[in-house]
């Protein structure tokens, strides 16, 4: 959410951001409502002052004068009722529109509509070359008895799966490896609530636009999170944080749920696009300082890069264009890991800076050294997401005999096992 004062001063800048992000909003209508609400507030304020003055006079007035004053008070009440109703209606429309106003992209973000317009930053690691017939991750997990999708689909529907044997152990190994590395870098490990109120989804910017992607529990009026970011940011909802506690670095571990609405027919084979997955998420809450936010953005981006390097997975960094950034993101880098069966770099991590967009919606503030109260800034980046990360892990490490080498950094979490052998 943007500051309404900023929108008043720079309406064209906000309109341009909405157009570049392809966000449907109406800034002209918002500003009209803003003016109307201000006028109604002034009228209500005037009438209430008059009513209070008359009510005070009635306390000491003579009976005849008192009756006249009471009549005046009633008349003012009749004037106030439609004004208060109009204020309520205008305010509801205004608040709903404010939730559709996007954050302003950083100047370095390229203008574009799709991922084809993203800007290449760098590539790390060599793309593997195989001198034997390549198997994709589904062929590997069947041969290695690591997962079952057929039986899962039978009773749970599309894009579902079982992980078993080394499939489950490998997922647990890679997530625990990432958590341990983030702990070493000062992150607090946290498991989070998976069911949250609408205020958490709205506060973090996933509602209203992303409502179609969320699973709802209607009887409890709760929603399943698509990332632990929702819970980790909402953890400090409506709090005034001590400056000395900032920045707050959290590593959230959770199961995540996404409906994948609008992706019918896309990536239906295998474990690339599923409804339920495990993820470790880096979330940072910091001071309202552009330099600090920029440094932290690079920090959490480097964290993810180091993890992929340690896993021996080649990847590239792309700066997302305006059309590929979410409503609240000021800047987003995508990390795409090489997946041999797809013959492409594919997204496995997303590193985002939000400025005060989420904090303003969630009411998260701090008091700076000058005693001023400000909204915090927030950032997040994937630590690891599984089962998607299992795709390059298995495909890149496959051997001619059908076995898969386990990366050295994961072996301590696999009881020393160094490879997975066909059953």
Q: Which residues are catalytic?
A: 258, 273, 347, 350, 388
CA distance 247 to 240: 13
H or E segment and range at residue 240: strand 240-242
| CB contact at 8 A, 210 and 238 | no
Structure-token pair, residue 111 = 């203008």
CA distance 312 to 292: 30
Sign (positive/negative) of CA torsion 352, 211, 230, 390?
negative
Backbone φ and ψ for 68, nearest 5 degrees, come out as -65, -40
| CB contact at 8 A, 167 and 414 | no
Phi-psi region of 259 (alpha: psi -120 to 50; beta: other; left: phi over 0): alpha
Sign (positive/negative) of CA torsion 54, 59, 64, 65?
negative
CA distance 145 to 226: 28
């Amino acid at each position: 959410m943007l500051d309404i004062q900023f929108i008043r001063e720079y309406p064209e800048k906000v309109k341009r951001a909405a157009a570049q992000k392809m966000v449907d909003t109406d800034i002209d209508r918002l500003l009209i409502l803003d003016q109307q609400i201000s006028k109604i507030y002034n009228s209500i304020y005037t009438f209430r002052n008059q009513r209070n003055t008359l009510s005070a006079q009635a306390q000491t007035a003579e009976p005849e004068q008192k009756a006249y004053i009471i009549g005046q008070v009633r008349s003012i009440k009749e004037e106030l009722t439609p004004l208060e109703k109009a204020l309520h209606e205008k305010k509801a429309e205004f608040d709903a529109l404010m939730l559709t106003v996007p954050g302003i992209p950083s100047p370095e973000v390229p203008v574009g509509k799709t991922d084809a317009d993203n800007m290449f930053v760098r590539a790390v690691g060599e793309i593997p070359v195989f001198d034997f017939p390549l198997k994709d991750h589904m062929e590997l997990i069947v041969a290695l008895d690591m997962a079952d999708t057929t039986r899962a689909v039978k009773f749970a529907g599309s894009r579902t799966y079982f992980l078993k044997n080394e499939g489950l152990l490998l997922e647990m190994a890679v997530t625990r490896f990432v958590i341990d590395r983030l702990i070493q870098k000062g992150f607090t490990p946290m498991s989070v609530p998976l069911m949250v109120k609408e205020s958490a989804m709205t506060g973090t910017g996933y509602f209203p636009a992303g409502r179609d992607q969320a699973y709802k529990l209607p009887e409890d009026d709760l929603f399943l999170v698509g990332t632990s970011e929702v819970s980790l940011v909402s953890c400090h909802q409506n709090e005034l944080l001590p400056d000395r506690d900032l920045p707050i670095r959290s590593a959230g571990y959770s199961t995540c749920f996404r409906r994948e609405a609008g992706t019918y027919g896309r990536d239906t084979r295998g474990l690339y696009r599923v409804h339920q997955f495990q993820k470790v998420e880096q979330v940072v809450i910091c001071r309202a300082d552009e330099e600090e936010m920029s440094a932290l953005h690079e920090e959490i981006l480097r964290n993810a890069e180091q993890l992929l390097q340690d896993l021996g997975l080649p990847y590239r960094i792309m700066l997302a264009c305006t059309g590929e950034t979410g409503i609240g993101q000021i800047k987003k880098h995508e990390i795409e890991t090489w997946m041999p069966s797809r013959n492409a770099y594919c997204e496995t991590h997303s590193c985002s800076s939000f400025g005060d967009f989420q904090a303003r919606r969630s009411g998260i503030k701090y008091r700076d050294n000058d005693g001023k109260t400000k909204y915090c800034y927030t950032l997040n980046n994937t630590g690891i997401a599984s089962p998607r990360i299992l795709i390059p892990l298995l495909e890149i490490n496959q051997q001619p005999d059908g076995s898969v080498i386990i990366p050295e950094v994961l072996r301590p979490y696999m009881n020393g096992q160094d490879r997975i052998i066909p059953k």
